Structure 1
Amino acid sequence: MDYAEALDSHPLGCIIRFEVVPGSSRLAVPSGFNPWRRSLEARLTEKPSRGRANRQLVEELARILGVDESGIEVIKGEKSGRKLLLVKGIEKDRAVLILKPLLDQ
């Protein structure tokens, strides 16, 4: 599987496609890869209420990628399980290198 298909280059950094499952029993970002939708999967412990699940996804992704939370923005799917996140300040190739070991576990 080529996890890099879930990421696209962007002039400000990269875009990452996610499918999220809120209200899970455990937090896992990323938790897998969906080759059909070319997106990463994430399990979030927060419920999709008042943006809490989105905040948890942003916080965890920022921690993993080593970027500031303010540099990550949900640009599509704010109220959907399918999301596009713009991660500023990190190129696609660097993000793939960081995420790949987490997905190969």
Structure 2
Amino acid sequence: MTDITPALSCSDRGTIITIEVAAGSKTSCFPSGFNEWRNAVGCRVRAPAVEGRANREVITVIAGAIGIEHSRVRIISGSTAPVKKILIEGMTPDQLRSVLALS
């Protein structure tokens, strides 16, 4: 897998990961690649970007891929944009990198 280090930053509550969402995709998938220009990990969701449906699915897909509760995943910026910053509570960047390397 590509090195996703540029997409990760540390927070006192966990790790912040920059993602680029493709709403309305045929399948839901995380991670789905890495955009080197935006330093963002790809996330595909089937839900359309209407009334927060895609955002809710982003949280579900990321939590499922990492193997944590949905309550530990939250969108902290970009709720109306394709590029978002997601807080993964209680996980270090190294732990997140390790989990995603196994995906």
Q: Taking structure 1 as the reference length, what is the TM-score of the superposition?
A: 0.91
Q: How high is the sequence identity, in percent, across the aligned residues?
A: 32
Other-structure match for 2:56: 55
Other-structure match for 1:79: 80
CA contact (8 A) 1:6 1:16 kept: yes
After TM superposition, which residue ranges in structure 1, 4 or more long, deviate above 4 angstroms?
Answer: none
CA contact (8 A) 2:17 2:86 kept: yes
Equivalences for residues 85-100 of structure 1 within 5 A? 85-100=86-101
CA contact (8 A) 2:28 2:61 kept: no
Deviation at 1:76, TM superposition (A): 0.5
DSSP-derived class of the 1:30 partner: coil
DSSP-derived class of the 1:31 partner: coil
Distance in 2 (alpha carbons) for counterparts of 1:60 and 1:27? 7
Residues matched between the structures, number:
102
Distance in 2 (alpha carbons) for counterparts of 1:70 and 1:2? 26
DSSP-derived class of the 1:28 partner: coil
Cα RMSD after superposing both structures: 1.1
What are the Cα deviations for residues 31-61 of structure 1, in whole angstroms up to 9, with x where unaligned? Answer: 1001111110111100011111111110111
Deviation at 1:100, TM superposition (A): 2.0
Distance in 1 (alpha carbons) for counterparts of 2:28 and 2:5? 22
Higher alpha-carbon deviation: 64-73 or 83-92: 64-73
CA contact (8 A) 1:67 1:89 kept: no
Deviation at 1:66, TM superposition (A): 2.0
Structure (1/2) with the larger strand percentage:
1
The residue type paired with residue 89 of structure 2 is K
For structure 1, which runs of at least 5 residues remain unmatched after alignment? Answer: none
